[in-house]
Amino acid sequence: MSIRNSHIAELFYSFIEKSILPKLSKTFSHPNHFSLLGLGIALLVPPGFYLHPLVGLLFMILSGISDIMDGLLARKKGLETPFGAFLDSSLDRCSDFCFLSGFWVLFRHSDLFIQASVLIFTAMFLVQFISYIKARAQSMWVECDTGLMERGARTVYLMVWAALLGIFPSFYHLILWSGLILFCLLCLFTVFQRFQHIAASLK
């Protein structure tokens, strides 16, 4: 079961739908408005991390909430369209890039900045590859929601990583490096999971 379909996620979505969406839907009347808002906030994540990990975390949370509200509003108003799904998915890839760029900013003073950059760009590649595999599979009529690090799990991971950096500054460098290495390994594992799933489905 993905995080998006978990009981906790359902409670969170219900809270947003009942408490936040009615207020903001007066200003943002179309789901695509929330999609664009989410991207706009995501662009603030790297400068937010430049100020402090918790500031970057705040922008990540706000961007994530906006991403949730576009789907909720689309279903509520019956505005689900193929273009809306395409736009949302495309902007999600941009947001993923912004989130990881925020963590890249945190390595700017590291003596191993080049090595960190290699790992960050590896993570970016793996994230995009995971999404590409799913899109390619769906084009062949194969469902591919499998894999440990689907987008919901990746976003939660990054938020927890940022929170730990802000809450435990004494272990800053340990959390920063171990968080990045573990993220890359989990994403690589997810790539293998999806390849295995698709290979089995196509057989």
Catalytic residues: 92
- Residue tagged 């290699």 (tokens): 118
CB contact set of 99 (below 8 Å; sequence gap of 6+):
42, 45, 60, 155, 158
Q: How far apart are CA 49 and CA 103, in angstroms?
A: 7
CB-based burial label for 170 (10 Å; 0-12, 13-18, 19+): exposed
Are the C-beta atoms of residues 90 and 39 closer than 8 Å to each other?
no
Q: How far apart are CA 43 and CA 59, in angstroms?
A: 9
DSSP 154-196: HHHHHHHHHHHHHH-GGGHHHHHHHHHHHHHHHHHHHHHHHHH
Q: How far apart are CA 191 and CA 175, in angstroms?
A: 24
